[in-house]
Structure 1
Amino acid sequence: MSHLAVAGLQLDLQAGDNLDRIADEVAATKRRLSWVDLVLIGELSAYGPSVVHAQDPGGVAETRLRAIARDNRVWLVGGSIFERVDGVIYNTCPVIDPNGEVVLKYRKIYPFRPYEAGVAAGAECMVFDIPQVGRIGVSICYDMWFPETTRTLAWMGAEVILHPGMTNTIDRDVELAIARASAAQNQCYFVDVNLAGHLGNGRSAVFGPGGEVIYEAGSGRDIIAVELDLAHVRRVRERGWHGLGQVLKSYRDGPASFPPYREGAVSASLAVLGPLEKPQGLAPPAPLKIQDQTEG
């Protein structure tokens, strides 16, 4: 068996407690599409983007997501939640198996700084195995802007990258270009699920191991159910997409040692860019000085 049926839920959510809505949407998806093996929801779906909802491990959100997976007998990649560990807040994606057990918690390596303030960076790329199917990698939103994250997941053997996001800005089109390129460069499926409505502008997408577009959603609520063939990924990696580039083998066998990855390497060009902070607008004009023309 090498097929994985994935349903990406592009949900129209509000900031606040969305757990009941998520439970209803997952249950409805499984009732209608009983063949679905895994459900993926968008980043920070449970409560939205405020760190005031940060929870301790095993809190209300995690407990509820575990119950949703168990009740519907699906793998659930629960978008992400803000999780507080020893006083430090992480943007954490729980992966839950059909028995309701958490098999991993991935912490976003690249929080969207300087806007995602107060959130610490994770330090580890993570994959999990679905028995008799294959190996799956997880990244979150801004992570994919750094090609090292997806390349590391492929290097670890990931054949599918599941990527929850929450984007409501004008760079969504750029993100789709990055997701598509990530699939082609790493010869994997890339499933990018965004939020819709108040929290996101949608356009979730699924790309195949040649960079081919399997599906792209519009801006509203959508249920994206696709069957991924991981044997196809293995064949593409072995022979090239339609017999063309064998990208991962060339990467493996290439002689180059790239300067940015050498221990102790420092870039003078990057050093002069200044601090990572929010851009500022134009300085306000100086107050007008009114000359006193009163006759004495």
Structure 2
Amino acid sequence: MRASLIQIDVDPDESVNSRRQRAGSLVREQAGSDLVVLPELWPVGAFAYQSFEAEAEPLRGPTFEAMAKAASDAGVWLHAGSIVERDGGTLYNTTLLFSPDGELARSYRKIHRFGFDKGEAVMMGAGEELATVALPDTTLGLATCYDLRFPELFRSLADLGAETLVVSAGWPERRRSHWTLLAQARAVENQAYVLACATAGTHAGVEQCGHSIVVDPWGEVLAEAGAGEEILVVDFDPAKVGVTREQFPALKDRVLGLAPPR
């Protein structure tokens, strides 16, 4: 199976519409891949909080239409990163996943919002549903950026059958070491592939880490991008998940429902 991670540069001097068109062209160039992945909030920038209200769009808005067409034109499964979705009076950080015929296969609203008492954490609503999608060769589990710090979310995705964990992100350079460490940890503990796609560039004064990464079920890094805009292409064998879980059946030894200390 071939995956292409498009580590797009979110340049504040490039308009959202221009970047939307450019992203569509980059997706079309990946015809021949099975799965193409874009980062978190690439249309506006994950830290560009002041633009969220103005650039929010309905689920089936201009980014949806552009990415649906790109997926269909390229004939790929497209994880189109995420958008600022407006639903009524609430904003969400929402992932869109398209099938090769351009149909929406799944959406996912980010559960863990970053910012503590500011930014995304107070401006956006929280998602409430886990999201998995069965592809012909693997089952994807969807997560977004700050979700990566919460292992219980990924274990729940694995319990739902996820074998390939896809993470879109706008991760800051100052915490890049956490990015690679956590991606490998989530792969090892769930004996699954992790495909983690981040943005490049600097927006809202926050330098992005780039370094999109693909990790196998043993925690080995199969490919890693640099800091700038780049398309990371990697071939991986989905069957390795089942083999790993059979050869080293650690997940069977989980102990659940432990009682608190007396």
Same fold (TM over 0.5): yes
Q: Distance in 1 between matches of 2:259 and 2:210?
A: 36
Q: Does 1:82 align with 2:49?
A: no
Q: Which residue of 2 aligns with 1:20?
A: 21
Count of equivalent residues? 244
Aligned pairs for 1:91-240 (under 5 A) are 91-114=93-116, 115-116=119-120, 117-131=122-136, 133-199=137-203, 200-240=208-248
Name the structure 2 match of 1:247. 250
Per the TM alignment, residue 149 of structure 1 is displaced from its structure 2 partner at its CA by: 0.9
Shift in Å, 1:226: 1.2
Percent identity over paired residues: 34
1:247 CA displacement: 2.1
How far residue 29 of structure 1 moved from its aligned partner, in angstroms, is 2.8
How far off is 1:184 after superposition?
A: 0.2
Aligned-partner SS, 2:236: strand
Distance between the aligned counterparts of 2:76 and 2:259, measured in 1? 41
Offset at residue 255 of structure 1 (A): 5.2
* Distance 1:224-1:257 versus aligned 2 partners, 3 A rule: same
Offset, 1:90? 0.6
User: 1:210-262, CA deviations, whole angstroms, 9 ceiling, x for partnerless residues?
Assistant: 1111112110122111122111100101112xxxxx221112xx255265xxx
- Report what 2:2 is aligned to: 5
Per the alignment, residue 29 of structure 1 pairs with 30
Question: What RMSD over aligned residues (CA atoms) do the two structures have, in Å?
Answer: 1.4
- Are residue 42 (structure 1) and residue 43 (structure 2) matched? no
Q: Is the Cα–Cα contact under 8 Å of residues 186 and 247 in structure 1 kept in the other structure?
A: no
8 Å CA contact 1:180, 1:212 repeated in 2: yes
- Where do 5+ consecutive residues of structure 1 fail to align? 241-245, 260-296
Structure (1 or 2) with the larger CA radius of gyration: 1
Deviation string 1:150-201 (CA, Å, 9 cap, x unpaired) is 1111111100001000012411211210110110000000011111112422
Report runs of 4+ in structure 1 exceeding 4 Å deviation. Answer: none
Matched, 1:65 2:73: no
**Cα separation, 2, equivalents of 1:186 and 1:58:** 33
Larger CA deviation: 48-57 vs 79-88: 48-57
Q: Which has the higher strand share?
A: 2
CA distance in 2, matches of 1:202, 1:144: 15
Q: Which amino acid aligns with 2:61?
A: G
Unaligned segments of structure 2, at least 5 residues: none
1:248-286, Cα deviation, whole Å (9 max, x unpaired) = 1112xx255265xxxxxxxxxxxxxxxxxxxxxxxxxxx
Distance 1:12 1:168 in 2: 13
